[in-house]
Amino acid sequence: MSKLQLQGRVILVTGGAGFLASQFIPELEAEGAVVEVLDINGDRPVDIVNAEEVRARVAEILATHSKIDGFVHAAAINPTPGSGTPQFSPYEDFPIELWKAEFDVNLTSAQIVMQAISPHLKKSMRGSVVFISSDLGLIAPNNSIYEPGKFKDIAYVSSKAGLLGLMRGWASYLGPYGVRVNALVPGGMENGHAKDFLEKNGKLNMLGRMARPGEYNAAITFLLSESSTYMTGSSLVIDGGRTAW
Ranges under pLDDT 50 in the chain? 1
Closest CA to 57 of 105, 108, 102, 109: 109
Burial of 158 (0-12, 13-18, 19+ CB in 10 A): middle
pLDDT in the model for residue 104:
98
pLDDT in the model for residue 42:
79
Q: What confidence tens digit (pLDDT) does each residue in 193-232 have?
A: 999 999 999 999 999 999 999 999 999 999 999 999 999 9
User: For residues 109 and 75, what is the distance between their CA atoms, to the nearest angstrom?
Assistant: 8
Burial of 201 (0-12, 13-18, 19+ CB in 10 A): buried
Helix (H) or strand (E) run with residue 166 in it: helix 154-174
Q: What confidence tens digit (pLDDT) does each residue in 90-99 have?
A: 999 999 999 9
Whole-number Cα distances in Å, 22 to 55, 69, 85, 90, 216: 23, 20, 23, 31, 12
pLDDT in the model for residue 79:
86
User: For residues 96 and 209, what is the distance between their CA atoms, to the nearest angstrom?
Assistant: 33
User: For residues 48 and 43, what is the distance between their CA atoms, to the nearest angstrom?
Assistant: 14
Q: Give the sign of the dihedral formed by CA 12, CA 18, CA 20, CA 25.
A: positive
Query: What are the percentages of helix, strand and coil residues in the chain, rounded to 5?
Result: 45, 15, 40
pLDDT in the model for residue 43:
83
Helix (H) or strand (E) run with residue 119 in it: helix 109-124
pLDDT in the model for residue 9:
97
Q: Check: CB of residue 14 under 8 Å from CB of residue 39.
A: yes
pLDDT in the model for residue 4:
65
